[in-house]
Chain A
Amino acid sequence: MSKLCSLSEAIRDHVHDGDLIYCAGFTHLIPFAAGHEIIRQQRRNLILARATPDLIYDQMVAAGCARKIIFSYMGNPGVGSLRVLRAELEAGRLEWEEYSHFGMISRLQAGASGLPFIPMNQTAACDLEHANPSYRRVTDPYTNREVIVLPPLNPDVAIVHVQRADANGNAQIWGILGEQKEAAFAARRVIITAEEIVTEEVIRSDPNRTIIPDFIVTTVCHVPYCAHPSYTQGYYDRDNEFYLTWDKISETQEGVQKYLEEWVYGVVDRNQYWNKLGDETHARLRVSPRPSIPVDYGDY
C-alpha cells in the first residue's frame, strides 16, 4: 500500500507539539525541508535531538519551535559556533542534555535494538558524566570492572532523508550513513523523505543498499533537494558557502528573522525554495557522475 503524501501533510499528521523529534543525518542528508515545514506549521515545545544540531536546529530554535535540545556537538562544522543555540544556552532560555558522539549514537542504538541500556568503555574523562545524570556506571558481571551505561533514546518521530525509496517506504542510502538506520528503528513514527521515488523492482535489484524496510515506515514524501544546504551524495553538493554565510546571518537576531521570513515563511514548499535559489546556485552545487561498478547478485 502506498504511503506517499506531501511533506506538509506528513508534518501535519505526524509531528505534534511537545514531540521528541530526531532529524537524522550526520552532515549528509539533513532534512532541512522538513525542518522548514515544521517552522511554517508553528510546532511548539519540541525536544530536538541530533548528534550535531547543525543549522537546521539553529533555525528551528530561532523560530521558537523547541523547549529542549539533546546533542553531542553543537557547532557549525568547520566554521564555528551555532550562534542561536549558543546564545539560548548561555542565557538559560533553552534546556539541554549533552553527550559525546558515541554516547548519543549508543543511546539510539539501544533504542533501535529494544535494549534497556547500553554499555560503553570508560574514556577517563568524567566531567560530562557528572554533569549529565543519564550517564551511569554498572559493574560488568564477568570482570567486575565498571562500565559506562546509557539509556535508550526513542524519539516520537524520526525524519530520515534518503536518495531513493519506493512508495511503501523501503529506503536506500549511499554515502555517509551516520545514524539514519538507528534513528528510524528507534523512533515510534518514521517519516521518509526521498530525492526519488522508485519502483519496488529498483529496490529489489540491490537489497544490500536498503537500510530501512517499509514496515517500520509511517509515511513517504517525495522531496527533491530536501537536504540543501546539506547535501545528497551523488545528487548535489554541500553548500559550504551557505554554511559560512549563516555564520554572518546569525550574528544578529534581525538577520535570522529576516532569513526565516524570506526563505522559510516566504516560500510554500521546497520546490519554490529550490527555484528561488536560482541557476547560479544550482550550477555551483551540481555534481559530476562517479557511478559504482554494478554487482551481480546472481539469478537463483
Chain B
Amino acid sequence: MEYTASELMTVNASRLLSNGETVLVGVGLPNLACNLAQRTHAPGLIMIYEAGVVGSRPSRLPLSIGDPTLVSGAALVCSMYDLFSLYLQRGNVDVGFLGGAQIDRYGNINATVIGEYHHPKTRLPGSGGSMEIAGWAKRFYVITPHQKRRFPEKVDFCTSAGFLNGGNQRAESGVIGKGPQAVVTDMGLLTPDQNGELILSALHPGITVEKVIANTGWQLKVSEHLTVTAPPSETELHILRELDPQKIYL
C-alpha cells in the first residue's frame, strides 16, 4: 500500500509505545500515533492529556488536545496544576511525545523562536507543556520531518532539554527524565549514543544513508547496527486513515 510521509512517521512512532504505559499525548501527529497504538498493539495504553485528562478513550480524533471527546469515558479529570505536578513532576508519566521546529545534535528542541528571542525572525508557539515533558517524563520521543533546516548542529533556543551539550550534562542537571530515546522522521530513526549524540539507527524502506546525511545539519554518524523499518501495514494505515478522514495531519 502507498503511504505518505506523515503516515510513515506516525506508524513508526506508535510502535515505540508499549501496552500499559502512561503516555502524555501531544497535539498533532503524536496524538494520532498514541490513538493508533491504543487501537492496535497497546489497548491498555494510558493516555494522559496535559489539559488534565487521565485514561482517555477518545471515540474520534481530537483536533486539539482539549477536545471534549477526551473527557467522555475517561478515568479521571483534574486541574492542569494537578496534572503537571502529581503526574509529570512526581514521575508518573512513562512516555512523552514532542514535536518542534528544530532538533539538534544532542536532541535539544526549539519550539520557541527562530532568530534572537527579543527580536524574533520567526516566532513559534513556545513551550506549552514541552519544557516539563522533556525534563520529567521517564523518556520521550520526537516526531519531525527530516529536513536540514529542522536538524541544525545547535538549536537557536532550547525550549526542551535533550542531552544539552552531550556527555553527562543532562544527568548532572538532576532532572528525573532520561531524555529523548528516539527521533522519528520520514527517513528513519535517530537514537542517542552513549554520549547523547543522535545517530542514524534505522532507515525506512527505500531511503539511503546518503539521503539522510544530506538532510541533516551536522555530520551524522551511522550506527553499526543500522536496521530497516517494516513498512506500515494495511491494518495500521486503515486505522490511521479512519482516525483522520479529513487528512488534517496525514
Instruction: Give A contacts to B, CB under 8 Å.
Output: 26-28, 51-52, 71-75, 77-79, 81-82, 86, 89-90, 92, 98-103, 105-106, 108-109, 120-128, 131, 145, 174-182, 231, 233-234, 237-238, 240, 243-244, 287, 290
The contact size tier of chain B is 35 or more
| Cα–Cα, bound, A72→B77 (Å) | 21
17 contacts between A and B (CB under 8 A): A27-B51, A28-B66, A51-B80, A72-B126, A74-B125, A75-B125, A78-B65, A79-B63, A86-B123, A98-B126, A101-B80, A101-B129, A105-B80, A125-B161, A176-B66, A176-B68, A178-B51
Q: Which residues of chain B in 110-137 are interfacial with respect to chain A, using CB atoms and an 8 Å cutoff?
A: 112, 117-123, 125-132, 134-136
- Kindly count the residue-residue contacts between A and B in the assembled complex, taking CB atoms under 8 Å apart: 177
CA distance A129 to B63 in the complex (A): 31
Q: Is the CB of B72 within 8 A of A102?
A: no
A102, B71: Cβ atoms closer than 8 Å: no
B42 contacts partner chain A, Cβ-Cβ < 8 Å: no
Stretch among B152-160, B216-224, B233-241 lining the A interface: B152-160
Nearest-neighbor residue (CB-CB) of A123 within chain B: B135
Which of B73, B85, B127, B135: most chain A Cβ within 10 A? B127
Alpha-carbon distance between A237 and B70 when the two chains are bound, in angstroms:
12
CB distance B126 to A125 under 8 Å? no
Query: Given the complex of chains A and B, what is the CA–CA distance between A126 and B96 in angstroms?
Result: 19
CB distance A182 to B81 under 8 Å?
Answer: yes
A248 to chain B, nearest CB (A): 14
Once the chains bind, are A177 and B77 in contact (CB under 8 Å)? yes
Q: Does B27 count as interface, using CB distance less than 8 angstroms?
A: yes
Nearest B residue to A130 via CB reads: B117
Instruction: Return chain B residues, CB-CB under 8 Å to A101.
Output: 50, 80, 84, 127-129, 132
Q: What's the minimum C-beta distance from A58 to chain B, rounded to whole angstroms?
A: 12
B44 to chain A, nearest CB (A): 23
B53, CB-defined interface residue at 8 Å: yes
A179 x B79 contact (CB < 8 A): yes
The residue among A82, A109, A121, A238 with the most chain B CB atoms within 10 A of its own CB is A121
- Residues of B contacting A105 in the complex (Cβ-Cβ under 8 angstroms): 79-81, 84
Q: Find out whether the CB atom of B125 lies under 8 angstroms from the CB atom of A73.
A: yes
CB of B117 within 8 A of CB of A100, answer: no
Which of the listed residues A26, A28, A125 has the most CB atoms from chain B within 10 Å of its own CB? A125
Known: A92-B119, A131-B118. A124 touches B135 (CB 8 A): yes
A234 vs B113: C-alpha distance when bound (angstroms): 38
B65 and A77 within 8 A (CB)? yes
Taking CB atoms, residues of chain A closer than 8 Å to B230 are: none
List chain A residues, Cβ under 8 A from B81: 105-106, 108-109, 179, 182
Partner of B161, one of A124, A131, A177: A124
| Alpha-carbon gap, A131 to B78, bound state (A) | 30
Bound CA–CA A7/B6 (angstroms): 45
Q: Among the listed stretches B14-22, B170-178, B203-211, which one makes contact with chain A, having 4 or more residues with CB under 8 Å of it? A: B170-178
| Residue pair A231, B68 in contact (C-beta under 8 Å) | yes
How long is the Cα–Cα vector from A145 to B51 in the complex, in angstroms?
Answer: 30
Residues A178 and B80 in contact in the complex (CB < 8 Å), given A26-B52, A125-B135? yes
7 tightest A-B CB contacts, nearest first: A27-B66, A123-B135, A75-B125, A73-B128, A124-B161, A77-B64, A100-B131
A183 to B116, CA, bound (A): 32
Would you call B89 and A120 a contact (CB within 8 A)? yes
Asked if B1 is an interface residue, CB under 8 A from chain A, the answer is no
Which residues of the other chain, A, contact B170 by a CB distance below 8 angstroms? 124
Instruction: Evaluate whether A78 and B158 lie within 8 angstroms (CB atoms) in the complex, with A27-B67, A124-B164 already known.
Output: no
User: B129, A176: Cβ atoms under 8 Å?
Assistant: no
Q: B78 contacts which chain A residues (CB < 8 A)?
A: 177
CB pair A26 B131 closer than 8 Å: no
- Pick from A51, A127, A179 the residue with the most CB of B within 10 Å: A127
- 17 additional A-B residue pairs with CB within 8 Å, beyond A73-B126, A78-B63: A27-B65, A27-B66, A73-B127, A89-B120, A98-B112, A101-B132, A122-B175, A123-B131, A123-B132, A127-B159, A176-B53, A177-B80, A179-B80, A238-B63, A238-B67, A240-B63, A240-B64
In the complex, what distance in Å separates the CA atom of A236 from the CA atom of B221? 52
B192 adjacent to chain A (CB < 8 Å): no
CB nearest neighbor in A for B163: A124
Q: Smallest CB-CB separation from B71: which chain A residue?
A: A175
Question: Which residues from B are CB-within-8-Å of A77?
Answer: 27, 63-66
Min CB–CB distance A186 → chain B (angstroms) = 11
User: How far apart sit A75 and B51, CA to CA, in the bound complex (Å)?
Assistant: 15
Bound CA–CA A105/B82 (angstroms)? 10
Taken residue by residue from 166 to 193, chain B's Cβ proximity to chain A (1 for < 8 Å, 0 otherwise) reads as 0000100111100000000000000000
A85 to chain B: closest CB distance in Å? 8
> How many Å from the CB of A60 to the closest CB on chain B?
18
